Amino acid sequence: MTETDTTQSPIITAENLKKYYPVRKGFFLKKAVALKALDGASFVLNKGKTLAVVGESGCGKSTLARLITMIESPTEGRFEIAGINAVTSDKQQKKALRSKVQIVFQDPYGSLNPRKKMGSILEEPLKINTDLTPGQMREKSLEMMEKVGLSREQYSRYPHMFSGGQRQRIAVARALMLNPDIVVADEPVSALDVSVQAQTLNLLMDLQEEMNLAYLFISHDLSVVRLISDEVMVMYLGRPVEQGDKNIIFENPLHPYTMALLTATPHVDARLRKKRIRLFGELPSPLNPPPGCTFHQRCTHMTDICKSMAPQLREVANRLVSCHHVEKWKS
């Protein structure tokens, strides 16, 4: 197999992933209802590529991250990692799969144990998952520190002795200690200063090229998404509403929600600014989603069919869109 074929081979294949949480409500909490945190997500992520998942808070982005990292199991649906079913696999297979998928969390301050030195933090995954000697683990940690732009002299320092950007580099290094195929990056730069964000993103892209990593990149910042992603999945209230190639979606969005998100992105260049599409009303509760299209209460193009029938994802203009009226504004 050629190098190009390897890069394009799927490392994750997900089909109709759902995650419902039972919640009791009503007088004395007698009635149980389902909170539909994720309500049907399907995608393919190839080696060396980045799929960005975007949307408002509560759209299901972080729930999807917990499923892919196998922190939680889906209520319905299935996904494969390197061709192995991650839902039905046995305990031993799941352990092997977890080493292939690592996560970088949003908060560089809360994700590191303040009582442990950096060397110990980096070596912890190796202690749990490998048979390396202490000397081998130390050397591997030192090599990874250099790879993410930290010096060997910082090996014995505690997290409070590092800046926010340096702490996130430690988190990235820890995620890469087991040589994973996939890194789930859950808002990895949103807690950092703008000047540090660019450095962290450049580091992630350099590591991706060097190690042929696949990224599931979760973000609400579309300017960051445009820089780092290859494909984009826009989610609303637990469901994908538009997904496809980054350039296609950014240059010609078709779903009204995607249009609204993109017009809300600020641009220094006046030529790139578009008339703001404002969303009215609040995001509906996932405990009681509206019937039909879940976006219809905030959509200016809403008709009767939107109130009664949920649109299905379908291929339109080289991407998938979930909208009854997409042909009306397709260019």
C-alpha–C-alpha distance, residues 60 and 66, integer Å: 10
Task: Return the percentage of the chain with pLDDT > 90, whole number.
Answer: 66
pLDDT classification of 9: cutoffs 50, 70, 90: confident
- Provide the 8-state DSSP code for 243: E
What is the average per-residue pLDDT within 71-82? 94
What is the average per-residue pLDDT within 17-39? 81
Q: Is the pLDDT of residue 29 over 70?
A: no
The 10s digit of each residue's pLDDT in 224-275 is 999 999 999 999 999 999 999 999 999 999 999 999 888 866 655 555 556 6
Closest to 6 in 3D by CA, of 82, 75, 68, 110: 82
pLDDT recorded at residue 270: 54
Helices (H), 218-255: 222-228, 246-251
Dihedral, CA of residue 169, residue 173, residue 127 and residue 154, to nearest 10: -50
pTM: 0.90
Closest to 52 in 3D by CA, of 213, 185, 190: 185
Q: Is the pLDDT of residue 158 over 90?
A: yes
Q: Would you put residue 215 in left (φ > 0), alpha (ψ -120 to 50) or beta?
A: beta
**Structural domain spans, the chain:** 3-115+158-249
Helix orientation angle between 134-147 and 164-176, rounded to the nearest 10 degrees: 130
Burial of 316 (0-12, 13-18, 19+ CB in 10 A): middle
The 10s digit of each residue's pLDDT in 37-47 is 999 999 999 99
pLDDT classification of 49: cutoffs 50, 70, 90: very high
Helix orientation angle between 194-211 and 164-176, rounded to the nearest 10 degrees: 20
Handedness of CA 128, 132, 136, 139 (dihedral sign): negative
What is the average per-residue pLDDT within 180-196? 90
- Name the percent of the chain in helix, strand, coil, to the closest 5: 40, 25, 40
The CATH class of the 3-115+158-249 domain is alpha beta
Task: Return the percentage of the chain with pLDDT > 70, whole number.
Answer: 91
What is the average per-residue pLDDT within 318-327? 92
pLDDT classification of 283: cutoffs 50, 70, 90: confident
Helix orientation angle between 134-147 and 118-129, rounded to the nearest 10 degrees: 120
pLDDT classification of 328: cutoffs 50, 70, 90: confident
What is the average per-residue pLDDT within 124-130? 93
Q: Is the pLDDT of residue 1 over 50?
A: no
Q: Is the pLDDT of residue 288 over 80?
A: yes
C-alpha–C-alpha distance, residues 152 and 113, integer Å: 20
What is the average per-residue pLDDT within 164-184? 95
Q: Is the pLDDT of residue 18 over 60?
A: yes
